[in-house]
Structure 1
Amino acid sequence: MNIFIVLATFFLMEGATWLIHKYVMHGFLWLLHKDHHDHSTEGHLEKNDYFFIIFAIPAIILMYIGSQQGFSYIFYIGLGVTCYGLAYFFVHDIFIHQRISFLSNTKNPYLLAIRRAHKQHHKHLGREQGECFGFLWVPVKYFKMYFKKN
């Protein structure tokens, strides 16, 4: 049952991420997310990187509370959020933005579709008129681009 809670939380985080990205990061916390789009920050860190801390805190709290209750379901929800955060870090920061050169020449259609959708998101430098706010699931048209049969 615990693994189901972790997996369900992981997959539900995709919807939460879309909502948070569109209405919080491109909304009232645009001041932290803006430099991720316009690359106005010098160096390796951006104000946008504060979201790592903002999203890690609830997961840590959930795991702490859940561990104090004999590893209740609350712990496993926090673990699912943490797993999603790790996936986000590896796919978004390492694979897509190449903060560490990794899989830069991939031919994997799924990874190429994710990268393409993210590039479409970044073509908009302002907070309005955005698209592709998701992370692991992107609009089908991007998958079709790379899953065409030759």
Structure 2
Amino acid sequence: MQIIFYILLTIAVFALMEVATWLTHKYVMHGFGWYFHEDHHQPGYPHVFEKNDFFFVVGAIPSILLFWFGTRGGINYLFFIGLGILFYGIAYFLVHDVLIHRRFKWFDKTNNYYLRGLRKAHKIHHKHLGKEDGECFGMLYVPLKYFKM
């Protein structure tokens, strides 16, 4: 029974990370953290790494700490919270950096309906080069209208 709880906890944390991502993207990245996010909104940024990657590193810290504290004296619930964060980080990397921005040319031939909607929403987000007037701050969930465009 405990394993079911841990699986459900990991899934719940993964889902809640989408909410955390939306809030962080809107209020931190497009707010006081714009210095680190700005280069991500510049077309044709030529570097392998962006200042925006700072958020990826910062986002990994809670997961690492939760793994650490979640394995002291045996595995406990903190480990699975960290696992949910890690799984979301992997999904974020694959969807945002690989499929949407194509920073790595791994899945170039993907023509999935859902992924096309994600790309459209992200393209709308990036049409704003400044930190104001943004829209579509989430990563895995985007409004239905982008799938109908």
TM-score class, shorter-chain normalisation, is over 0.9
Partner of 1:127: 131
Partner of 1:148: none
Q: 1:35 aligns with which of 24, 36, 39?
A: 39
* TM superposition shift of 1:40: 7.6
Relative to structure 2, which stretch is displaced further, 65-74 or 53-62? Answer: 65-74
Q: Distance in 1 between matches of 2:31 and 2:73?
A: 36
Q: Secondary structure at the match of 1:104?
A: coil
Q: Secondary structure at the match of 2:52?
A: helix
Q: Secondary structure at the match of 2:114?
A: helix
Count of matched residue positions in the alignment of Structure 1 and Structure 2: 145
Q: Distance in 1 between matches of 2:115 and 2:144?
A: 13
Partner of 1:75: 79
CA shift in 2, pair 1:42/1:98, >3 Å: closer
Does 2:30 align with 1:26? yes
Partner of 1:55: 59
Q: Distance in 2 between matches of 1:61 and 1:47?
A: 23
Partner of 1:107: 111
Q: Distance in 1 between matches of 2:148 and 2:78?
A: 38
TM-score, normalised on structure 2? 0.92
1:138 is matched by which residue type in structure 2?
V
Q: Secondary structure at the match of 2:103?
A: coil
| Aligned-CA RMSD value | 1.3
Q: Distance in 1 between matches of 2:59 and 2:115?
A: 24
Does 2:13 align with 1:9? yes
* TM superposition shift of 1:127: 0.3
**Runs (4+) of structure 1 moved beyond 4 Å?**
none
